[in-house]
Every structure is written in C-alpha cells, then in structure tokens.
Amino acid sequence: MSGTRNPVTEAELHAWIDGELPEERLADVERHLAENPDVAQRFERYRAQRSLLGQSFGPLIDQPLPDRLTPPFTARDPSEKPALGRGWGRRRGAWWGMAIAASLLVFVAGGTSGWLLRDRIGGRTEPLTAAFIADAVAAHRVFSVEVRHPVEIGVDEEAHLVNWLSKRLGKNMRCPKVTRGGYQLIGGRLLADSVGPVAMYMYEDAAGRRITLYIRPSPNTSGSAFRFAQDGGVRALYWQDNGLALAVAGEADRDTLSNVAEEVYGALNS
C-alpha cells in the first residue's frame, strides 16, 4: 500500500511523470502505481500524450514568435483611461501568450497534428482526438507486454468474449480470428476511458509479436479516413466507422497495420 501516514498525492504523481519527484518519495510512488493499475494506466496515457505533443510541437519551442502573432498592445495609448489599474499591460501581454498556448493545445486536441494516411471513404469528417490515440497506444503498451494475463478472456471462449463486448459497446464486436499476415487472436478485455466502455482485442504472430485493436463507441456514424500516428516505437492506424472509433496499434510496420485494419473493417461490416 502507499501508506496511510503519508499517502501518495496527485501532485506527486505528476511530479513523477515530469521527472521532478524527490528521490525519497520515488519508491512510495512506484509502489502506489504497482498497487493501482487503473492509476498506472491513466498516467501511462498522460505520458503518451506528452510524447505526441513533444513530437508535434517540440521543435517550435525555441522558434521566435512570428510578427503576425506579436501582441498588438505592447505600448499603451497615453489617452487610454487606466480604469483597469496599474499592471494591466503586463497582464494583458501574459493573457495573450496564454491565449496562443491555449489555441495550440486546441489545435493538438483536435487531432490535426499531421497524422495523415489515405482516404477510404470520401467526404470530410471530424478527426479523432489525440486523447483517443494516446489511450490506444497506452493500452497497447500496458497489456501487450503481459506474460500471464495479456487478456481477460482467451480465444478459447471467443463466443462469450464477442457477445460480452458486443453487449457492453452496443455494436457487433466480431473481429477476425486469424489475419492474412499470420496474427492470431489470443483474446480480449473490457477497458474504460473518459468516454465509456472500450473493447480491446489482442493478436499475436508466431514470433510472439503482438498487435492490439482498441474500439470504443463514437457519435460519428459515418466512415472516416484511415490515419496514421506514431509514438516512439508504437505505431497506430485509426479510423471511425459505423458509430465506432477504432485503432490498430503495435510495433509492426505501417503496411502490416494497414492490412490488419482492412480485415477488421471487413469483419465488422460483413
């Protein structure tokens, strides 16, 4: 346990992920994460999101601010009434900087960080958010390395697994049992994110390499383009279709993920 005398706080967890946790608390935090897998998974998602943000916008940090974004109120008009009090100019400049930063975060959260692949279905749709991709990548990282408990229900109970996940998500969850690339279904589990229930299937090839399929209900009922994302060594292909948001993730190459996605798409729409 993390201890009742000095319990681990949320602030300490964030300090841990930022690399700023005092060394004397490191063992307590790591023990707390080991004893609370839901917390560990949440902070693994945060780590994935940080990595995606860093990859997309890290090079911009040291760039000078473009002239067109320079605050237009560095000097105050002498005729301006000081009704808002001394220091307003400084606060207004700081507000401008925060507004730019907020706009950048909205840009990232909208899923427009440059992950593009080819369109399968014509028409423009709202892209999936960066949070969804981060969740899918984090789930892959957490569960694909498990030796004894990689899945909650094994493929030997496939009918039960499919019926259970279909009922919880309200959609047909019958996915390919074996892919043309040699990946075989080994089972799946029910997860949850901030939106609600999530289904995750896991596939494994003869060499022990694993691919995960992460699925959650989505308000979008039409199809969307396949899109590609990468976070470190984990790659993901994601799309929306028939009221579902889906992501295939793994350390496999892009073509392999694309082939698996094609088969998943066919199975769910057959």
DSSP string, 40-55: HHHHHHHHHHHHHHHH
The verdict on 162 and 247 lying in the same domain is yes
| Mean pLDDT on 84-91 | 44
User: Is 223 inside a domain boundary?
Assistant: yes
At residue 18, the pLDDT reads 76
Question: Cβ(242)–Cβ(267) under 8 Å?
Answer: no
The verdict on 241 and 141 lying in the same domain is yes
Whether pLDDT at 3 is above 60:
no
At residue 236, the pLDDT reads 93
Lowest mean pLDDT among 3-17, 115-129, 183-197: 115-129
The verdict on 39 and 137 lying in the same domain is no
pLDDT tens digits, 167-220:
999 988 888 888 888 999 999 999 988 888 999 999 999 999 999 999 999 876
The verdict on 139 and 50 lying in the same domain is no
37, 55, 73 - which closes a domain: 55
Domain coverage including residue 155: 130-268
**Cα separation, 233 vs 238, whole angstroms:** 16
Return the amino acid letter for 7.
P
User: Is 165 inside a domain boundary?
Assistant: yes
User: Is 91 inside a domain boundary?
Assistant: no
The verdict on 143 and 262 lying in the same domain is yes
User: Is 63 inside a domain boundary?
Assistant: no
Count of domains forming the chain: 2
Nearest-Å Rg of the Cα atoms of the chain is 23
At residue 119, the pLDDT reads 32
User: Is 105 inside a domain boundary?
Assistant: no
Residue of higher predicted confidence among 105 and 13: 13
The verdict on 38 and 157 lying in the same domain is no
Q: What is the CATH number of the domain that holds 140?
A: 3.30.200.100
The verdict on 152 and 259 lying in the same domain is yes
The verdict on 34 and 136 lying in the same domain is no
At residue 47, the pLDDT reads 73
* 3-state SS class at 173: coil
User: Is 51 inside a domain boundary?
Assistant: yes
pLDDT tens digits, 139-171:
999 999 998 899 999 999 999 999 999 999 998
Whether pLDDT at 59 is above 60:
no
At residue 61, the pLDDT reads 54
Lowest mean pLDDT among 40-44, 67-71, 142-146: 67-71
The verdict on 51 and 146 lying in the same domain is no
Residues 6+ apart with CB under 8 A from 50: 17
User: Is 122 inside a domain boundary?
Assistant: no
* 3-state SS class at 229: strand
User: Is 170 inside a domain boundary?
Assistant: yes
